[in-house]
């Protein structure tokens, strides 16, 4: 499939798609950004002019074919344009995570040998300058927001506005060169290079070609019938493949409008003002939204609260059915419509989701309660399964086949295969070209026939063809008793409680499972306030006996539910503790996309794990933490360890029988 000749007539590069969009809907809005309190709009024609100016400016600075241009910053139109401008001059854009510390940034800049950096603001420029000695090849740093930059030495620094002005002046000089470079781009030339955050080891540079991006965008846009009138809000990290596909791939393919928020803090207001029709968010965002709604309802007047709960109870019965087009009695429908007018509609409006036609969540499992809540509101929330190496899409759910426990059927053009050990393999036009400067890594991930190992264990449901993911293949283990150990399965169940932000379950090759818990400061803090519990810090709240009691009841509830699944009933949590700090990407405990790094946590908190298995009732510990500015400090705490009630397991099936049965 990946070797198939390009379909005729399809523009062969992102800049070529841009030219097509200018011709097809030149005056239609392409990008919006809220600045100075007003939504500023650029049409496709204006965007093309801006991109040309940046591209000419880059030529004037001496960007060569094949150069890597690093782009660092929050979602802003000018940074998206810079990426396309880099493509236009034959260079490769490399978006970086803006919250990465200087050290992480240095690794990527060094690895891709970036000669040019386009940074959003002073903060990003400072980080690049800080690691300058490690990356002496950087010739020019271009910045977008000139604030605070006046005193800097400008021999290597340029304001993007100056680069654009230079490009506009020089456009006749470079006209031929630019056209020639753009003409050289084809389906096989590199479109973008994205570094995967990687749950283990150093990040890897995933090279994606124009074919990968355009074919995937085409297939997925057609799957959900996206059209030029759709609106998206670009608020997820630009370095993440999903944002590249949504805000550049699909946006250029279908011609819809990309909206950039004013700042990270105004995201919710901006969401409400734009009312996107196509919306993506990781489960965490949906969880946080739901938590904040619930907190506000707790504080609402009794009458409002009663109305809300009544309406939600009915909506949970009827809403999903209506979405799936299943028959619903006229009375139920009428009541849903009245509720919609009084409660559900306004709630959706508050959430900024009144107009969502297609909503997706991915990256982690989403709690069934959370999923059902949004579906009950009539929001077409679906799940997809993907990864950077696949240009996102591997499987996604069709409109009327949405379930919380599967990730859907293969996206058109994707082939799936389940290996004997349960690992999921795929092959698609979106399959990445290679890991940059890492042939061994490429070879161990992608075989000669183009099959890519996802690293996830799962199975395809025989009757529906839906893919179900159990856990990371390498995390699935066995307990001392031989029972299957799938930590993620239990962690997800724990995390579905609003009070639990993060959980890490241990138990591989042990005789019982234990867990670290992170409480959700917003939810538990609100609970503490209502119950007159005073606390000064996260640590203090986390150690409060009543909080421990509450979490214990959650753990016991999870144990009851885990016990029902015969294959995984051995994974009940016998002992747990509440961590004294929030797991943080800055301390290396989470990836930048906020996935738990199991090995690192095991090493870092080995004393706590020993205490969990050693039968102690409390343990003193010291932990090093990294502050946002990179300084390090130490926190100490004595943590209480609790035993949780478990349900006795009658018969534990060995995983072999079960997986084979699937």
Partner 1 sequence: MNQMTAPAAPQDGYVTEDGRTIGGVVMEMRNITLRFGGVVAIKDISFDIREGEIRAIIGPNGAGKSSMLNVISGFYHPQEGEVWYKGEKRPPMRPYQVARQGIARTFQNIALFEGMTVLDNVMTGRLNHMTASILDQAFWWGKAQKEETANRQKAEEIIDFLEIQNIRKTPVGRLPYGLKKRVELARALAAEPKILLLDEPMAGMNVEEKEDMSRFVLDVNDEFGTTIVLIEHDMGVVMDLSDRVVVMDYGRKIGDGTPDEVRSNQEVIDAYLGVSHD
Q: Which is nearer to partner 1, 145 or 224 (CB)?
A: 145
CB of 344 to partner 1, least distance (A): 25
Burial class (CB in 10 A: 0-12, 13-18, 19+), 179: exposed
CB of 265 to partner 1, least distance (A): 4
Span of 33-41, 231-239, 616-624, 654-662 interacting with partner 1 by CB under 8 A: 33-41
Helix (H, G, I), strand (E, B) or coil at 20: helix
CA 276 to chain centre: 18
302 binds partner 1, rule: CB under 8 A: no
Give the DSSP H/E element, type plus range, for residue 18.
Answer: helix 14-25
Footprint of partner 1 on 84-123 (CB under 8 A): none
265 binds partner 1, rule: CB under 8 A: yes
d(CA 569, CA 120): 49
DSSP 10: S
Give the DSSP H/E element, type plus range, for residue 420.
Answer: none
Span of 16-24, 36-44, 581-589, 650-658 interacting with partner 1 by CB under 8 A: 36-44
Residue from the set 8, 147, 201, 302 that interacts with partner 1 by CB under 8 A: 147
40 binds partner 1, rule: CB under 8 A: no
**What token pair was written down for 317?**
């019965």
Burial class (CB in 10 A: 0-12, 13-18, 19+), 530: exposed
CB of 536 to partner 1, least distance (A): 12
Task: Check if the beta carbon of residue 245 is closer than 8 Å to that of residue 223.
Answer: no
263 binds partner 1, rule: CB under 8 A: yes
Task: Check if the beta carbon of residue 205 is closer than 8 Å to that of residue 436.
Answer: yes
CB of 144 to partner 1, least distance (A): 14
CB of 525 to partner 1, least distance (A): 15
Q: Give Cα separations from 10 to 190, 249, 544 (angstroms).
A: 17, 13, 61
Looking only at the bridges linking them, the beta strands covering 381-387 and 392-396 are: antiparallel
150 binds partner 1, rule: CB under 8 A: yes
631 binds partner 1, rule: CB under 8 A: no
CB of 145 to partner 1, least distance (A): 10
CB of 122 to partner 1, least distance (A): 10
Task: Check if the beta carbon of residue 445 is closer than 8 Å to that of residue 388.
Answer: no
Span of 109-117, 260-268, 575-583, 652-660 interacting with partner 1 by CB under 8 A: 260-268
Span of 34-42, 100-108, 245-253, 467-475 interacting with partner 1 by CB under 8 A: 34-42
* Radius of gyration (C-alpha) of the chain in whole angstroms: 26
CB of 298 to partner 1, least distance (A): 19
Q: Which is nearer to partner 1, 153 or 463 (CB)?
A: 153
Q: Give Cα separations from 263 to 68, 75, 89, 223, 235 (angstroms).
A: 27, 9, 30, 32, 9
Dihedral (CA of 244, 248, 251, 257) sign: positive
Residue 172's contacts (CB-CB under 8 Å, 6 or more residues apart) are none
CB of 269 to partner 1, least distance (A): 7
62 binds partner 1, rule: CB under 8 A: no
Q: Which is nearer to partner 1, 38 or 448 (CB)?
A: 38
Residue 297's contacts (CB-CB under 8 Å, 6 or more residues apart) are 304, 305, 308, 309
Residue from the set 9, 36, 201, 509 that interacts with partner 1 by CB under 8 A: 36
Residue from the set 23, 35, 225, 313 that interacts with partner 1 by CB under 8 A: 35
Phi, psi of 263 (to 5 degrees): -160, 170
Residue from the set 24, 27, 269, 617 that interacts with partner 1 by CB under 8 A: 269
632 binds partner 1, rule: CB under 8 A: no
Span of 9-17, 29-37, 336-344, 491-499 interacting with partner 1 by CB under 8 A: 29-37
3-state DSSP: the chain helix, strand, coil percent, rounded to 5? 40, 25, 35
176 binds partner 1, rule: CB under 8 A: no
**What token pair was written down for 600?**
């690192």
Span of 35-43, 189-197, 205-213, 304-312 interacting with partner 1 by CB under 8 A: 35-43
CB of 296 to partner 1, least distance (A): 15
Span of 231-239, 257-265, 560-568, 636-644 interacting with partner 1 by CB under 8 A: 257-265
Binding-residue pattern over the window 557 to 586 for partner 1, x denoting contact by CB under 8 A: ------------------------------
CA 50 to chain centre: 29
Task: Check if the beta carbon of residue 47 is closer than 8 Å to that of residue 82.
Answer: no
Residue from the set 24, 40, 137, 266 that interacts with partner 1 by CB under 8 A: 266
Q: Which is nearer to partner 1, 265 or 449 (CB)?
A: 265
Q: Which is nearer to partner 1, 147 or 176 (CB)?
A: 147
Q: Which is nearer to partner 1, 351 or 473 (CB)?
A: 351
37 binds partner 1, rule: CB under 8 A: yes
262 binds partner 1, rule: CB under 8 A: yes
CB of 299 to partner 1, least distance (A): 14
Q: Which is nearer to partner 1, 113 or 627 (CB)?
A: 627
Q: Which is nearer to partner 1, 148 or 630 (CB)?
A: 148
Helix axes 283-298, 368-376, angle to 10 degrees: 70
Residue 82's closest CA among 108, 109, 120? 120
Phi, psi of 459 (to 5 degrees): -150, 160
CB of 364 to partner 1, least distance (A): 27
Span of 71-79, 81-89, 265-273, 648-656 interacting with partner 1 by CB under 8 A: 265-273
d(CA 122, CA 145): 7
Span of 51-59, 262-270, 528-536, 653-661 interacting with partner 1 by CB under 8 A: 262-270
SS3 annotation, 483-507: CEECHHHHHHHHHCCCCEEEEEEEC
CB of 151 to partner 1, least distance (A): 5
Q: Which is nearer to partner 1, 275 or 404 (CB)?
A: 275
CB of 266 to partner 1, least distance (A): 5
Task: Check if the beta carbon of residue 593 is closer than 8 Å to that of residue 240.
Answer: yes
d(CA 350, CA 357): 16
Residue 255's contacts (CB-CB under 8 Å, 6 or more residues apart) are 21, 24, 25, 28, 30, 44, 228
Task: Please count the residues of this chain forming the interface with partner 1, following the rule CB under 8 A.
Answer: 13
Residue 147's contacts (CB-CB under 8 Å, 6 or more residues apart) are 121, 122
Residue ranges in contact with partner 1 by CB under 8 A = 35-38, 147-148, 150-151, 262-263, 265-266, 269
């Amino acid at each position: 499939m990946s070797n198939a000749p390009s379909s005729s007539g399809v523009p062969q590069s992102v800049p070529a798609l841009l030219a097509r969009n200018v011709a097809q809907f030149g005056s239609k809005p392409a990008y919006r950004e809220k600045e100075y309190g007003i939504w500023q709009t650029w049409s496709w024609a204006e965007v093309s002019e801006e991109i040309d100016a940046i591209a000419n400016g880059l030529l004037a600075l001496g960007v060569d074919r094949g150069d890597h241009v690093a782009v660092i910053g929050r979602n802003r139109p000018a940074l998206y344009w810079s990426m396309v401008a880099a493509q236009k001059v034959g260079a490769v854009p490399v978006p970086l995570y803006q919250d990465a510390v200087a050290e992480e940034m240095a690794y990527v800049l060094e690895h891709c040998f970036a000669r040019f950096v386009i940074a959003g603001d002073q903060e990003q420029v400072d980080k690049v300058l800080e690691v300058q000695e490690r990356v002496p090849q950087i010739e020019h740093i271009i910045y977008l927001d000139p604030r605070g930059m006046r005193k800097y030495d400008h021999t290597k620094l340029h304001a993007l506005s100056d680069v654009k002005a230079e490009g506009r002046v020089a456009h006749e000089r470079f006209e031929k060169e630019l056209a020639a470079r753009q003409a050289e781009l084809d389906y096989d030339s590199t479109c973008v290079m994205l570094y995967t955050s990687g749950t283990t080891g150093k990040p890897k540079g995933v090279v994606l070609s124009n074919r990968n991006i355009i074919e995937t965008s085409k297939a997925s846009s057609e799957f959900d019938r996206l059209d030029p009138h759709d609106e998206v809000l670009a608020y997820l990290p630009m370095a993440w493949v999903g944002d590249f596909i949504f805000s550049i791939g699909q946006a250029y393919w279908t011609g819809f409008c990309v909206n950039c928020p004013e700042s990270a803090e105004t995201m919710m207001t901006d969401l409400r003002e734009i009312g996107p029709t196509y919306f993506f968010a990781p489960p965490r965002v949906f969880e946080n939204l739901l938590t904040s709604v619930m907190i506000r309802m707790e504080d609402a007047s009794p009458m409002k609260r009663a109305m809300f709960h009544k309406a939600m109870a009915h909506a949970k019965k009827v809403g999903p059915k209506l979405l799936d087009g299943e028959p619903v009695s006229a009375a139920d429908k009428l009541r849903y419509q009245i509720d919609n007018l009084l409660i559900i509609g306004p709630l959706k409006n508050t959430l900024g989701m009144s107009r969502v036609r297609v909503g997706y969540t991915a990256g982690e499992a989403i709690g069934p309660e959370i999923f059902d809540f949004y579906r009950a509101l009539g929001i077409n929330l679906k799940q997809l399964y993907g990864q950077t190496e696949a240009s996102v899409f591997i499987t996604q759910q069709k409109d009327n086949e949405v379930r919380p426990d599967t990730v859907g059927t293969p996206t058109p053009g994707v082939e799936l295969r389940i290996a004997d050990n349960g690992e999921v393999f795929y092959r698609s036009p979106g399959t990445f070209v290679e890991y940059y400067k890492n042939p061994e890594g490429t070879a161990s991930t992608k075989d000669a026939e183009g099959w890519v190992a996802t690293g996830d264990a799962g199975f395809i449901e025989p009757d529906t063809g839906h893919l179900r993911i159990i856990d990371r293949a390498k995390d699935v283990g066995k307990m001392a008793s031989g029972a299957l150990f799938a930590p993620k399965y239990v962690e997800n169940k724990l995390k579905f409680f609003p009070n639990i932000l993060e959980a890490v379950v241990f138990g591989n090759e042990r005789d019982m499972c234990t867990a670290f818990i992170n409480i959700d400061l917003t939810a538990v803090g609100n609970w503490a306030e209502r119950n007159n519990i005073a606390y000064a810090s996260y640590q203090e709240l986390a150690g409060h006996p009543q909080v421990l009691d509450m979490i214990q009841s959650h753990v016991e509830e999870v144990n009851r539910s885990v016990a029902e699944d015969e294959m995984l009933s051995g994974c009940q949590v016998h002992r747990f503790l509440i961590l004294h700090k929030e797991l943080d990407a800055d301390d290396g405990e989470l990836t930048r996309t906020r996935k738990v790094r199991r090995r690192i946590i095991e090493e870092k908190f080995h004393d706590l794990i020993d205490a969990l298995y050693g039968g102690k009732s409390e343990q003193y510990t010291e932990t090093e933490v990294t502050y946002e500015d990179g300084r390090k400090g130490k926190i100490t705490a004595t943590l209480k360890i609790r035993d949780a009630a478990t349900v006795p397991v009658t018969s534990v099936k060995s995983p072999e029988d079960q997986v084979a049965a699937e």
